[in-house]
Amino acid sequence: MSIQDEETEDRSVVSYRSVDLVVSVLLFLASIILGWTNWQIGAGWAPDGPEAGYFPFYLCVLLGIASLIGIVKGVISRSDASFVGRDQFKRVLQVAIPSLAFVAGIQWLGIYVSSFLLIAGFMRFLGKSSILASLVTPVIFVVFMFYVFEKQFTVLLPKGPIERALLY
């Protein structure tokens, strides 16, 4: 949900055109690699109908053509629009990096502890909430989550050492 009317002087990190081109090239490479593996499986005609690779192979052909059009359009484009500004990108990374840590944390600490850390960290460091609020809010959220998923819907979420110590 973006609103574009308050564009400020935000220096561009990378131009729209370069990202568009890179994505098109990656898609083109993907179409070749995937097309090749499907050709290996057999993209032709067996006695009982099309072979397993038939449908995906022609999809790859389509992907290849479409991404080639993308590449051509990107190359001839004269636009210098920005893909993302420096400040914007900083804010995106402020979510992206903790999210990575959160998912990694799920494997070591379980989802409850990891969620607590994610929410508390966000509130304290990005939201500048008070220490009390940044501790109490995630605790309530995590307890509620535990109640809903483990108790009401019996969805067993990944747990870590702390839950095991508490006999779960």
Partner 1 sequence: MEALSSLIHGFDVLLTWQNMALMLFGIVLGIFVGVLPGLGGPNGVAILLPLTFSMDPTSAIVLLSCIYWGALFGGAITAILFNIPGEAWSVATTFDGYPMAQKGQAAEALTAAFTASFVGSFLAVVLITFLAPLVAGFAIRFGPPEFFAVYLLTFCSFVGLGREDKHKIVISLVIGFLLTAVGMDTVSGQLRMTFGSVELLRGFDFLVAVIGLFGVGEILLTMEESFAFRGKKAVISPTVVFRTWATLPKYWLTLLRSSAIGCWLGITPGGAIAASFMGYNIAKRVAKDKESFGQGRIDGVLAPETAAHAAGTSALLPMLALGIPGSGTAAVLLGGLMVWGLQPGPLLFVEQKDFVWGLIASMYLGNIVGLIVVLATVPLFASVLRVPFPTIAPMILVSCAVGAFAVQNAVFDIWLMLAFGVVGYVFKKLGYPLAPLTLALVLGDKAEDAFRQAMIGARGSMTVFFSNGLVGTITIIALLVLFMPLIGQAVAWVRGTRAPKIEPEAPPVSAPASEA
Which residues of the shown chain bind partner 1 in the complex (CB under 8 A)? Answer: 1-4, 16, 19-20, 23, 27, 34, 37-38, 41, 45, 48-53, 55-56, 59-60, 62-63, 66-67, 69-70, 73, 83-84, 87-88, 91-92, 94-96, 98-100, 102-103, 106-107, 111, 115, 118-119, 121-123, 126-127, 129, 137, 141, 145, 149, 153-158
User: Quick one: 23 exposed, middle or buried, by C-beta within 10 A (0-12, 13-18, 19+)?
Assistant: middle
Residue 162: CB minimum distance to partner 1, A: 17
- In whole angstroms, the minimum distance from the beta carbon of 13 to partner 1 comes to 11
Beta bridge partners of 14: 84
d(CA 145, CA 125) in angstroms, rounded, equals 23
Candidates 122, 116, 105, 118; CA nearest to 146 is 116
Distance CA 160, CA 105 (A): 9
CB of 126 to partner 1, least distance (A): 4
Q: Cβ 166 to partner 1, closest distance in Å?
A: 19
Sign of CA dihedral 113, 114, 119, 123: positive
